[in-house]
Structure 1
């Protein structure tokens, strides 16, 4: 086992005590440098511009809020009703869209800057804006709650920004939903119109076919001189009357046939004779008049009020002053050590 010489231990102990003594003799220098650090940190903390943060929390809408989106949309109808998730996904997509951020940047953020600040690089300005306005993502505890966070030197600006940005996202989502519903209704109107036109054309052809058959029967009735249907008594009368169609149509008599032909030729509309026409027209009228007002629907729900912040998040004055004190002390010790070693070397030389 190797033993350390006593002289070496005494030398190391002496050097350490000499160093501490040298630092103690320069305590005024260390305190002065630390004080300068505290003063500089204090000046920075109190002179730098404060930054405030406003936040709004957003949640899915209620069933009452999306009720008008589902007007006329049932599980038994042609159009599937929207769920809360469907509507909220449209809102979140608009909330996170780049087009909304760009529009807000150009219409709200840039006008809030001074002319000299606006003349800078647009890319740098947009990068700064992206740091000031952010979207808070949901957590495991609340997987559906998003947030809009804005930071500004003016607390009123920060509050107005989160309100405006959330409202713009909501308006864009409502417009998209209403546009989708209107487009679907227009397609349904066009499809129903096509069905109605097809039925009307088919009924018109049926009427023309009936006129043709009646004309042929009239020619037979005139040829045999039968003006009125024959009078037949007993059960045979009922059988013959029921069979006066097809090849026996002429037995109705020329007078009845002429009247029926004239009635069919002068008919103004075939609509009353189309069985399913009225139901289709009612559907078409419903989809044609279908409108959703933005004032009666909502695509998100605000969770709690938006309060104007009264305490800045930056600068943290206490932390900055403590940091200035720490750095001042470190710098003071370093200067004192350098000065001590410089004086020691000079004395030995």
Structure 2
């Protein structure tokens, strides 16, 4: 009984030596299976189509890039100027919009496929497209930098895709900005036009009221036979002349009143007599003519050049071959262990 504990390690040690010896006798089998695994992995790695990745980084524009958006817009004016953040937010919203992805899918991605590939499920094709073209979001280190990433078998096409997608997002954002600016200018011009019309109508009514008052004064002057203003000497003359309005208007005399009535009735325009009119008309003309040239503005900046990739990101040949070797060795050991088990049961003849 005292020798039993000591015999167990020796038995385990003997079994381990037997296992190693059995595996060693089948080293050719293990090596062959491992070689098959490496060859299979190498075949897959070298026959698989390479996948390349192109990437473009996008940053906010400069003040010079958005200067024309702010033409006529100052902090003291009716329209507040746009900030860099305002403009860049419009761009990033368009960059991540579903409408832009759908348009690119229909206009660029689908035409690049063969007729047989396009005949498949549109939902599946769109799902595959979303894996090939992705938007990289900002990070803590680069809180304002976005990226567009395109993957494909053709590296030149991947570069074209990222350029085209970023340009489409920029064009859509510029169009939205210009549309907003134009709309604001139109509304402002219409408001100014309404103010001008109101002032002109008010001045026309004032003229009609003046004609009515002058006609009544003329009737009084003609009734008393007063053709010319009375000649009054001294300080009383200045006082009476200053008060020749209202009830004393008739004291101007019928000749003066007729001339003034004729002048008011034949006046072609009241505009020269409206104090704020010219200023309002100048503002209205400015907003009517306000235009932004898309060639002089930019809603984003490209951070660095877009270089054509010369090394595929997939397949990773070295990793695949190492994985094939590992799996081949594991499979070889498993086959060798199964074979040893069969040998011990006498199903197959053991190696000599």
Partner of 1:270: 270
* SS across alignment from 1:143: coil
* SS across alignment from 1:268: coil
Q: Which runs of structure 2 are paired with 1:1-349 in the superposition (5 Å)? A: 4-346=4-346
* SS across alignment from 2:174: helix
In structure 2, what is the Cα distance between the partners aligned to 1:91 and 1:48? 38
Q: RMSD of the TM alignment (CA)? A: 1.4
In structure 1, what is the Cα distance between the partners aligned to 2:207 and 2:195? 18
* SS across alignment from 1:120: coil
CA contact (8 A) 2:200 2:271 kept: yes
TM-score by length of 1: 0.98
Shift of 1:3: 7.5
Shift of 1:7: 3.4
* SS across alignment from 1:346: coil
In structure 2, what is the Cα distance between the partners aligned to 1:309 and 1:191? 55
* SS across alignment from 2:257: helix
User: Compared with structure 1, are the counterparts of its residues 98 and 4 closer, same or farther at alpha carbon in structure 2 (3 Å cutoff)?
Assistant: farther
Shift of 1:347: 6.3
Shift of 1:104: 0.4
Shift of 1:279: 0.5
Query: Per-residue CA shift, 1:116-173, capped at 9, x if unaligned?
Result: 1111111111111111111111111110001001100000111000000000000000
Q: Is there any run of 5+ residues in structure 1 with no aligned partner, and where?
A: none
In structure 1, what is the Cα distance between the partners aligned to 2:138 and 2:71? 31
In structure 1, what is the Cα distance between the partners aligned to 2:105 and 2:348? 68
User: Compared with structure 1, are the counterparts of its residues 167 and 266 closer, same or farther at alpha carbon in structure 2 (3 Å cutoff)?
Assistant: same
Runs of at least 4 residues of structure 1 off by over 4 A? none
Shift of 1:320: 0.6
In structure 1, what is the Cα distance between the partners aligned to 2:54 and 2:158? 5
CA contact (8 A) 2:31 2:329 kept: yes
Shift of 1:237: 1.6
* SS across alignment from 1:127: helix
